[in-house]
Amino acid sequence: MSAEHHEPNYMAVFFALFVLTIAEVGVVFMPLSKLVIGMALVLMALGKAALVALYFMHLRYEKFALGVIALTPLILCTLLIFSLLPDLTATPRVSQANQAASESVVEAQ
Protein backbone atom coordinates (compact mmCIF):
# COMPACT_ATOMS: atom_id res chain seq x y z
CA MET A 1 0.00 0.00 0.00
CA SER A 2 1.25 3.42 -0.85
CA ALA A 3 -0.15 5.39 2.07
CA GLU A 4 -1.57 4.92 5.52
CA HIS A 5 -5.33 4.90 5.55
CA HIS A 6 -8.11 4.46 8.01
CA GLU A 7 -10.94 1.96 7.68
CA PRO A 8 -13.63 3.31 5.36
CA ASN A 9 -17.20 3.58 6.56
CA TYR A 10 -18.53 0.44 4.92
CA MET A 11 -22.10 1.12 6.04
CA ALA A 12 -22.08 4.48 4.23
CA VAL A 13 -20.79 2.77 1.08
CA PHE A 14 -23.46 0.08 1.46
CA PHE A 15 -26.15 2.75 1.87
CA ALA A 16 -24.92 4.57 -1.26
CA LEU A 17 -25.02 1.30 -3.22
CA PHE A 18 -28.51 0.61 -1.89
CA VAL A 19 -29.75 4.08 -2.91
CA LEU A 20 -28.27 3.67 -6.40
CA THR A 21 -29.98 0.28 -6.74
CA ILE A 22 -33.35 1.77 -5.75
CA ALA A 23 -32.75 4.61 -8.23
CA GLU A 24 -32.02 2.07 -10.99
CA VAL A 25 -35.31 0.29 -10.33
CA GLY A 26 -37.10 3.66 -10.37
CA VAL A 27 -35.54 4.71 -13.67
CA VAL A 28 -36.82 1.57 -15.38
CA PHE A 29 -40.42 2.56 -14.63
CA MET A 30 -40.04 6.20 -15.74
CA PRO A 31 -41.74 7.24 -19.00
CA LEU A 32 -38.48 7.93 -20.85
CA SER A 33 -37.07 6.67 -24.12
CA LYS A 34 -35.13 3.43 -24.07
CA LEU A 35 -31.94 5.27 -24.95
CA VAL A 36 -32.23 7.62 -21.97
CA ILE A 37 -33.10 4.76 -19.63
CA GLY A 38 -30.15 2.73 -20.93
CA MET A 39 -27.74 5.62 -20.50
CA ALA A 40 -29.01 6.34 -16.98
CA LEU A 41 -28.68 2.69 -15.99
CA VAL A 42 -25.15 2.47 -17.37
CA LEU A 43 -24.09 5.64 -15.57
CA MET A 44 -25.52 4.42 -12.27
CA ALA A 45 -23.87 1.03 -12.74
CA LEU A 46 -20.56 2.80 -13.34
CA GLY A 47 -21.04 4.73 -10.12
CA LYS A 48 -21.73 1.53 -8.23
CA ALA A 49 -18.72 -0.18 -9.80
CA ALA A 50 -16.54 2.76 -8.84
CA LEU A 51 -17.71 2.59 -5.22
CA VAL A 52 -17.01 -1.13 -5.05
CA ALA A 53 -13.59 -0.76 -6.66
CA LEU A 54 -12.56 2.20 -4.52
CA TYR A 55 -13.66 0.93 -1.14
CA PHE A 56 -14.06 -2.85 -1.21
CA MET A 57 -11.07 -3.45 -3.49
CA HIS A 58 -9.13 -0.69 -1.68
CA LEU A 59 -8.09 1.04 -4.91
CA ARG A 60 -8.61 4.41 -3.28
CA TYR A 61 -5.44 3.91 -1.27
CA GLU A 62 -3.28 2.37 -4.01
CA LYS A 63 -0.87 4.01 -6.42
CA PHE A 64 -2.28 5.95 -9.37
CA ALA A 65 -0.90 3.48 -11.94
CA LEU A 66 -2.82 0.58 -10.39
CA GLY A 67 -6.02 2.62 -10.58
CA VAL A 68 -5.43 3.36 -14.25
CA ILE A 69 -4.81 -0.34 -14.92
CA ALA A 70 -8.05 -1.23 -13.13
CA LEU A 71 -10.14 1.47 -14.85
CA THR A 72 -8.98 0.92 -18.44
CA PRO A 73 -11.19 -2.14 -19.10
CA LEU A 74 -14.11 -0.34 -17.47
CA ILE A 75 -13.70 2.65 -19.77
CA LEU A 76 -13.44 0.42 -22.85
CA CYS A 77 -16.52 -1.54 -21.82
CA THR A 78 -18.47 1.68 -21.27
CA LEU A 79 -17.53 2.99 -24.70
CA LEU A 80 -18.66 -0.26 -26.30
CA ILE A 81 -21.97 -0.20 -24.44
CA PHE A 82 -22.70 3.39 -25.44
CA SER A 83 -21.80 2.65 -29.04
CA LEU A 84 -24.22 -0.31 -29.09
CA LEU A 85 -27.16 1.47 -27.44
CA PRO A 86 -28.52 2.93 -30.72
CA ASP A 87 -28.69 -0.59 -32.17
CA LEU A 88 -30.78 -1.72 -29.23
CA THR A 89 -33.34 1.04 -29.73
CA ALA A 90 -33.49 0.98 -33.53
CA THR A 91 -36.45 -0.57 -35.32
CA PRO A 92 -35.56 -3.41 -37.67
CA ARG A 93 -35.73 -2.53 -41.34
CA VAL A 94 -37.36 -4.85 -43.83
CA SER A 95 -35.68 -4.92 -47.20
CA GLN A 96 -37.80 -4.48 -50.31
CA ALA A 97 -36.99 -8.02 -51.49
CA ASN A 98 -38.17 -9.54 -48.19
CA GLN A 99 -41.26 -7.34 -48.19
CA ALA A 100 -42.15 -8.35 -51.77
CA ALA A 101 -41.61 -12.01 -50.94
CA SER A 102 -43.86 -11.82 -47.88
CA GLU A 103 -46.55 -9.99 -49.88
CA SER A 104 -46.47 -12.66 -52.60
CA VAL A 105 -46.90 -15.38 -49.97
CA VAL A 106 -49.91 -13.55 -48.55
CA GLU A 107 -51.42 -13.07 -52.04
CA ALA A 108 -50.92 -16.77 -52.87
CA GLN A 109 -53.00 -17.77 -49.88
Could you read off the pLDDT of 40-97 as tens digits, one per residue?
998 999 899 889 888 887 777 778 887 788 778 878 988 888 888 888 777 766 666 6
**3-state SS assignment for residue 57:** coil
Number of neighbouring beta carbons within 10 Å of residue 5: 11
pTM of the shown model = 0.59
